[in-house]
Each structure stands twice: as C-alpha cells, then as structure tokens.
Structure 1
Amino acid sequence: MNSHTDAAQHLPTVTFVCVHNAGRSQMAAGFLRELGGDRVRVYSGGTQPAEAVNPVAVAAMAEVGIDISGRGTNELSADMLQESDVVVTMGCGDDCPYYPGKRYEDWPLEDPAGKDLEAVRPIRDQIRARVQELIGSLGA
C-alpha cells in the first residue's frame, strides 16, 4: 500500500454552497485552498450558478493575496456532496440539497452581490475567520 496514495484518499473534503457560486462560496473555497493547502480537498458550487465570479469578490480576495479570478462558477453536483465530509451552505435556504450522514454547517453571511469593495471586505473577513475555525475542527 502506497502511503502517499493512502493519505490522499483520506483528505477531509469540504463543499461550499451558495445560490450563485459567485461570491461567498468562492471566497470561502479560496481561503480554504490557501490556508488548508494540500491537507484538504475543496469544492464549491451553486444551485443556480451565475455566469462569472463576482469581480468585487475577486478584488477583495486579491487584497489579501488570494487569486480567485481564474475560477469559474460551478453547478452543485451530487458527486460534490457525496464526496464531502463537510457541506457548508451560505444563504441558499431550501434550494440547498441535503444528504443524510454529512456534517452540515450554515454560515449566515451577507451576500456580496451588488455591493462595493468597502462593503465586501467585512464579509471576506468573516469568511476567513470561519474557514480558520473549520480547518481547526477538521484537524487539517
């Protein structure tokens, strides 16, 4: 048995879900990729994905040295949810599917859509704090 392959199969996996997969879930995924590194797998998806990631979210993340500009929006898939140890929802309410046996967290964060950079910074900072807590809870 290859220990490298074995370790890769047991990485904690997190899926971030919001309606449009354009702001909150993209920022959370960016922070988890950056802070969790190769110790965690990250997915993000939306129940009604937008055409592109919110440019203000991209700018807010760039201010803290994380580039999410190349990320496209994704439709949430059953595979993402089935592979996940933790599913974090962000304001999609009843639109978010539920899979029994998964650890769910709901982060009631303000939607950055239509807001300027000044208004998105505190949302970004709340997301960073929650991601840091999540990493600690995963033991990653």
Structure 2
Amino acid sequence: MTARHVPTVVFACVRNGGRSVIARVLTEHYAQGRITALSAGTQPGEHIHSEVAEVLESLGLDTSKEQPTLLTRDMIAGADLAITLGCGEECPYVPGVTYRDWPVDDPGGQDEQTVRRIVADLDARVRGLVAELTGEAGPTSSVLR
C-alpha cells in the first residue's frame, strides 16, 4: 500500500486576520485531515479580527490557536495550491505552484451581518475546494445553519 498524498493549501491575505483565517479554519473543519490548510499574510497583524473570531466561534469553530503568520516563499513552495484573498501582487511567486485568486471582501471592521456574508461566501468556495482536492463528494451540510 502507498500512502495517499495529503494536499497542502496556503490561504494568503494581507493581515492574516480575516479572510485567510476563515478559509483555513473551514478547510480544516471540512477536510478532516485530508487536506493541510495554512494561512498567512504579506503584512500580518497582531491578532485575528475579533469580529471574525466571534462569528466563527458562534458556528462552533475554534479560533483560539489562530495567530497571524508571515507569508514566506518557502511556505508557498511547500504547497500544492496557493489561494490569494486580496494580497495579489504582494504574494511571492513560486514556479510550479498553482495559484488562484478568490476575490472576497475584507471582514475586518465589518458588522456581524457582513462578516457572516463573507463567511458564507468562503464556506461555499471551501466546500467545493475540498471536493475537488479529495476527489470525493463535498460536504453536503454547512456549518452555517
């Protein structure tokens, strides 16, 4: 028997306090170990946005270990896929790594309804990504009730 490759995805934004954190947490939740998800920022802040943490926690998703991290070339080089969420040209380019851009609004400083809309957008994208990368049917039920 051969070990199955576990794909690695890096979600990158500027501050690593909102969009990339949401995408990483959702991917880990839905993939259940079948995908390694990392998040980082080109100019990481000091902490994740409190409004993002509050919405994710209300959905039963743990954010207590989330800490903004600097996006590095090595991080991307070790990934199968890099998904940019608003950092575009600031993200290091590594030949051979597949890049995708998800144009998603920044939840930082937004009201709860707006943050929930952004989470819903990323939730749909992530469930599709999990299905694509695992080759299995995507999660049918969402954390969004």
Moved over 3 A (4+): none
Asked if 1:106 corresponds to 2:80, the answer is no
User: Which residue is 1:57 aligned to?
Assistant: 52
Amino acid at match of 1:54: H
Distance in 1, Cα, partners of 2:80 & 2:31: 15
The range that moved more, 95-104 or 105-114, is 95-104
The alignment-based identity, stated in percent, is 38
> 1:73 aligned to 68, 73, 76, which one?
68
User: Which residue is 1:37 aligned to?
Assistant: 32
Aligned residues: 135
1:50 counterpart SS class: coil
Structure 2: gaps spanning 5 or more residues: 136-145
Asked if 1:48 corresponds to 2:43, the answer is yes
> How far does residue 12 in structure 1 lie from its aligned partner after superposition?
0.6
Which has a greater percent of helix? 1
Distance in 2, Cα, partners of 1:40 & 1:93: 23
Aligned CA-pair RMSD: 1.3
Structure 1: gaps spanning 5 or more residues: none
- Scaled by the length of structure 2, the TM-score of the pair is 0.88
Amino acid at match of 1:99: V
